Amino acid sequence: MIQDVPSTTPSLDVRGVRYAYPDGHVALHGVDLTVARGERVALLGPNGAGKTTLVLHLNGILTATEGSITVGGLAVEADRARLAEIRRRVGIVFQDPDDQLFLPTVAEDVAFGPANLGLRGADLAARVDEALAAVGMSAQRDRAPHHLSFGQRRRVAVATVLAMRPEILVLDEPSSNLDPAARRELATILRALPVTLLMVTHDLPYAFELCDRSVILDAGRIVADGPTADLLGDEELLARHRLELPYPFSPVRK
């Protein structure tokens, strides 16, 4: 699904991003983060650490007060055509699928993104089929989102951005509210996608399962960056940033 980008360019390069909300509250204090192509990275952090604020910078919904962001070598700028391309490259899956799926049928919703890119007719239908097949939801294409289970809705939400053939897929709390089976099914789907992945979560076992590398964001700063197993093994580090492993979980690969 990745195309037209030289393979040496990182999918995502965030340099010294600072952001202050209009009320003066500083949410990001200079964030640096580089994600190589095809990498799967977990962005960990407690509530209020600035995770969602950072995510909204990646596709130019929020504009950094200082610093720069490039996606596949293309800088995020407030220019209309540039923003359209950036939003194609950065596929954000929001936490609540009911926020993402706003059209009356699954197929129409999946078609919304690629149609905004100018696709029509058979090309558009092919994109929709491809994206729905990737998340195993082809049979549900004509159903209404509110008639699907929560797990199915989250998978369709992933398809809505896959249909834009993103450079990087950004998932906000992908495992929240899923039952164990749906959680596992989503993990299987995400692992099979040939796309760079940035997963925002505080579900540490899920990060361990899916991502080799993790970064911890706390109080608007990246405070740790390394192999997921190392980070999760450092109990003191986790405790310092209000992160905890579920009691019986041990970060040792089978």
Residues engaged in binding other proteins (CB under 8 A): 56, 59, 61, 80, 84, 87-88, 90, 92, 94, 96, 98-105, 107-108, 111-113, 115-117, 121, 124, 142-147, 160-161, 164
Nearest distance in Å: CB 102, other proteins: 5
CB-nearer residue toward other proteins: 94 or 206: 94
CB-nearer residue toward other proteins: 93 or 232: 93
Nearest distance in Å: CB 100, other proteins: 5
Nearest distance in Å: CB 125, other proteins: 9
Nearest distance in Å: CB 190, other proteins: 18
Terminal alpha carbon distance of the chain: 31
CB-nearer residue toward other proteins: 153 or 241: 153
CA distances from 170 to 8, 24, 72, 125, 183 (A): 20, 27, 14, 24, 17
Q: Which of 172, 241, 196 is nearest to 37 (CA)?
A: 196
Kindly report the number of other CB atoms within 10 A of residue 41's CB atom: 26
CB-nearer residue toward other proteins: 81 or 181: 81
CA distances from 192 to 40, 106, 159, 186 (A): 11, 22, 13, 10
| Structural contact between residues 222 and 207, judged by C-beta atoms closer than 8 angstroms | no
CB-nearer residue toward other proteins: 151 or 214: 151
Nearest distance in Å: CB 97, other proteins: 10
Nearest distance in Å: CB 198, other proteins: 14
Cα–Cα distance between 215 and 213 in angstroms, integer? 7
Cα–Cα distance between 22 and 44 in angstroms, integer? 25
Q: Which of 50, 44, 39 is nearest to 251 (CA)?
A: 44
The enclosing H or E element of 229 equals: helix 228-233
CB-nearer residue toward other proteins: 27 or 232: 27
Nearest distance in Å: CB 53, other proteins: 12
CB-nearer residue toward other proteins: 15 or 143: 143
Helix axes 106-116, 121-134, angle to 10 degrees: 120
